[in-house]
Amino acid sequence: MQRNATPVSFWAKLNEWRKSNKFRIQSFALLFSLVVPFLLYWALQSGQTPLAIMFFAALTIGMLMTLWAG
């Protein structure tokens, strides 16, 4: 019985995609991280605590995206 070549793992494909789209990811994360703090400020000033929590989580995701893109 002959074995096929080892299939490429999900993480290897994701890493390859990340490297080929690094500029796009970083650009999106930059714009995202510039807009969200203003939305967070607005939500806090208007007393919208659940919305502020969501915007804070979005800001954290934007920072993690920047870190992941390298």
Return the amino acid letter for 62: G
Report yes or no: 62 and 34 within 8 Å, Cβ to Cβ: no
* Per-residue model confidence (pLDDT) at position 3: 64
Distance CA 20, CA 35 (A): 25
* Per-residue model confidence (pLDDT) at position 37: 94
Report yes or no: 67 and 45 within 8 Å, Cβ to Cβ: no
* Per-residue model confidence (pLDDT) at position 4: 63
Q: Which residues contact 52 (CB under 8 A, 6 or more apart)?
A: 40, 43, 44
Fill in the DSSP letter of residue 24. H
* Per-residue model confidence (pLDDT) at position 2: 59
At 1-59, the pLDDT tens digits run 556 666 778 988 988 988 898 899 889 988 988 999 999 999 999 999 999 999 999 99
Element at 14 (helix H, strand E): helix 10-20
